[in-house]
Amino acid sequence: MNPLLFTDSAFLFFFAPIALTGYWIVPARWRNGFLLIASLLLYAWGEGRYIGILAASIAINWLAGIAISSASAFRSRKVALIIGIASNLMLLAVFKYATFVILNLDLLLVRTSFHRIEPPGYRLPIGLSFYTFMGISYLIDLYRRDLDKPSSLSRVALFMTMFPHLMIHHGRAVCIANRPKCAECAIEKLCHAADKSWSTVDIHKNAQP
């Protein structure tokens, strides 16, 4: 299935009403858990085969956060932060830049006797850049002591997967990519991206909160 956008009928008339109603119905102590389940289900809806990557990213940041907070010495905290950030960026590099690097290497290899390298068959998981840098920001907050203690696994997972954040991030990318089709969009009159005189850079700048 294709990922849902906040303008899709399935989201507006099926997922959103259930999520909002469920959030107010369940007891307060279960609301975060309910939102986490809803967020993971929504991600799995259109990106099920890559949900393991999301789970790995959550686990990396949760464990790195514990390591940073439990380290008493400044040097140890810094090492834990570097390892955590490096792990996040490695995950991002493998899935976002591996194909680009391999294709460029192949351009060089065609002029030599070496066999060309086959690029990986996977594509970029939706939201990977977004939740990777969300995880990094969490680690930096712990390192700077802006957070007193590491969050639980469920709270880290919710922080990284909260579905409105992921949908807005993905929706902006789709909106920018499909700007010539603005007239077909259900929220054209409400969206500043419909102004064709704006550049992509302008859209990114104005999209910042």
pLDDT tens digits for range 9-44: 777 778 888 888 998 999 989 988 998 998 888 888
**How distant is the alpha carbon of residue 152 from its chain centre?**
19
- Both 69 and 115 in a single domain? yes
**Can you give the pTM of this predicted structure?**
0.70
Of all residues in the chain, the percent with pLDDT exceeding 70 is 65
CA nearest to 85, candidates 97, 73, 93: 93
8 A C-beta contact, residue 43 and residue 170: no
| Residue 23 belongs to some domain of the structure | no
CA nearest to 69, candidates 145, 163, 138, 177: 145
Which positions ≥6 away from 168 have C-beta within 8 Å? 6
Task: Please give the residue that has the higher pLDDT: either 109 or 87.
Answer: 87
- Both 106 and 153 in a single domain? yes
- Both 194 and 127 in a single domain? no
CA distance 78 to 62: 16
Task: Please give the residue that has the higher pLDDT: either 172 or 141.
Answer: 141
pLDDT greater than 70 at residue 102: yes
Cβ atoms within 10 Å of 205's Cβ, excluding its own: 10
